[in-house]
Each structure stands twice: as structure tokens, then as C-alpha cells.
Chains A and B, each alone.
Chain A
């Protein structure tokens, strides 16, 4: 049990430190848009996975309320998406492609180690390859959705109360 929470707590702490290091103050809106978008998508995928019993999570947060791996879906994957969007899209295309594959590979390895050495997760009809493929697809998808959301006009016609001052 201790190793389980050390693993998850350590992973969350590492990601939190990386977010603090990598997210500049003027990109907070992009960070929140990314976090919430990835959470929504991972929630839906997580619910389907748990319903179909593709994976189980013997040790988890909110064990009475959900059979999902709440911390991975709610915090780990969204944080990974934020790091990807903050660090990768401005680079040349080959670097972007290599980065997506690298991040998906790291996530799959993290899942594999978690399955092997902790009680946080058990594969039933799932594998580290499926984790790899999921993140490989989701990172560009979330990036496209966040770009679309961020393209919203900042000022509305007839909105007399715009101040443009907070921020």
C-alpha cells in the first residue's frame, strides 16, 4: 500500500514541479484549457475502460464512488498534455513527431512499471501498447481542440463591460 501511494504521489509531485517550471504566467489560460480538455476526454475513455473491465485499479482514490483510476485520468494525463503543449508545438515537425512518440513511450513505460510493481493497476484486456497508442492519438487531438478553443474572440460585440485588465 505504501509503495502504491509513494508511486502515485511521487509522480504527481514530479509533474507539479515540471508544470511550475515549464508554464509561463502568460500561458495560464492555455494551461487550464488543456487540463480541462484532457480531463474530459480521459474521463470518457476511463469510464468506458472501467465499464468494459479492460483494466482494474485495486488501490485507488474514491474507492466507493468510482472504479476509475481517478488520479491518472484527472491529474497525470492532463499534466502530461500541458507539458506537451507548452514545450513541443513550436519546434520543427520531426522534433514534434519524435516528442509525441517519446512522451507516449514514457507514459506506457510508467504504466507498465506501475502494473508490475504496485497494486494501482491490473491489465485484463489492456496493455502498455494500448496506453502508448492512446496518448499518441490524444496529444495531437487535445492540441487541436485547445487551439480551436483559444481562437475564440477575446472581446464580444456589445459587451460593454470588457476591461481587458485582469490576468
Chain B
């Protein structure tokens, strides 16, 4: 059994590697904007979820400072948001864009399922896996809409 803290450390390593590999040099600024925007959203929504007792994170980094997941809200989800935005298939057919938009929350939910089931990193209290998918889908779309507005592009997803 891999210790939970090692899994959490692995999330940081994998997220940073994905950031380095999948963000082209000419889109680093756009990735940075996506990261700080997603941190803003994830911070407040993560606190609300824990405050309302929907989820808990029994094992976590900065356990004295936070009852929410700093790793997920500060690092993992913002980096996923950056990858989502800078690689978004803007010129593709609508069905491809929707499939892309659905693939990200699906992958995140698929990763969260074994983490919830086999580790103490996250426990659902009044939460369900499907809510994870829906909330991530909505948050990523919101991140894309902010990105489109910031760079003065016509919204593409909705």
C-alpha cells in the first residue's frame, strides 16, 4: 500500500511535469493566467465544500492551516485548467470541442475514484462522484469563458 502522503507528493510532481511538457513556451503567460484564475475559483469553492461538510481530507499537506486540500486547489486543478485552456481545440468542429470539454472532468473523476476509495486523501460525506464531474466540468468551462474574455476571443464552447 502506497502511503497517502506519497500519493499527494506524486500529484505535485505529475502536475508540474504535465505543465512543463504540455504548455508551449509561447503560451506560458496564458497558462499563468489560467492557473491564478483557477486558484481563485478552487480556493473559495473548496472552502465552501469543507465548511458545509460535503467532503473531508483526513490526510493532507498543511493540515494545521487547512481542512481543505491545498494540493488539489492550489496545484492540481489550476494546472489542469491551464492545460485545458492552452490546448483547447479552438478551430475544431463543435462536437470535438464538447468532447474535449467532457474528457477533462472525466479523466479527473476517474483519477479521484481510486483516491477516494483506497486512500485517506479525500472522503465523501455528503458528496458523490457525479458531483465531482459536474463541478469540474462547470469550473473548467468558466475558466475557458474568462480566458476567452481576457484575450478578447469569441466564446467557443457555449
Residues of A within 8 A of B (CB): 29, 32-33, 35-37, 39-40, 43-44, 46-51, 53, 62, 64-68, 70, 74, 145, 148-149, 151-154, 156, 158-167
Residue in A62, A67, A159, A167 whose CB lies within 8 Å of B91: A159
With A29-B150, A154-B152 as given contacts, are A36 and B66 in contact (CB-CB < 8 Å)? Answer: no
| Contact assessment for B29 and A152 in the assembled complex, using a CB-CB cutoff below 8 Å | yes
Q: How far apart sit A161 and B53, CA to CA, in the bound complex (Å)?
A: 42
| Contact assessment for A43 and B153 in the assembled complex, using a CB-CB cutoff below 8 Å | no
The A-contacting residues of B in range 61-114, CB under 8 angstroms, are 62, 64-68, 70, 74, 90-91
In the complex, whether B121 has a CB less than 8 A from a CB of chain A is no
| Contact assessment for B152 and A161 in the assembled complex, using a CB-CB cutoff below 8 Å | no
Residue in B36, B44, B50, B70 whose CB lies within 8 Å of A74: B44
**Nearest-Cβ distance from residue B60 to partner chain A, whole angstroms:** 11
Residues of A close to B53: CB separation below 8 A: 64
Which residue of chain B lies nearest to A158 when distances are taken between CB atoms in the complex?
Answer: B91
Extra 4 A-B pairs, beta carbons < 8 Å, given A47-B66, A50-B64, A70-B47: A36-B39, A40-B36, A159-B91, A161-B153
In the complex, whether B128 has a CB less than 8 A from a CB of chain A is no
Q: How far apart sit A74 and B43, CA to CA, in the bound complex (Å)?
A: 9
What would be 20 A-B contacts, judged by CB atoms less than 8 Å apart?
A: A32-B37, A36-B39, A40-B36, A40-B40, A46-B65, A47-B74, A50-B66, A51-B64, A66-B66, A66-B67, A66-B68, A149-B29, A152-B151, A158-B91, A160-B91, A161-B90, A161-B153, A162-B153, A166-B148, A167-B149
Interface of B, helix, strand, loop or mixed by DSSP: helix
Residue in A35, A64, A68, A151 whose CB lies within 8 Å of B51: A64
Q: How far apart sit A31 and B150, CA to CA, in the bound complex (Å)?
A: 11
**Nearest-Cβ distance from residue B90 to partner chain A, whole angstroms:** 5
Residue in B26, B39, B148, B156 whose CB lies within 8 Å of A43: B39
Residues of A close to B148: CB separation below 8 A: 166
| Contact assessment for A166 and B50 in the assembled complex, using a CB-CB cutoff below 8 Å | no
Residues of A close to B91: CB separation below 8 A: 158-161
| Contact assessment for A159 and B40 in the assembled complex, using a CB-CB cutoff below 8 Å | no
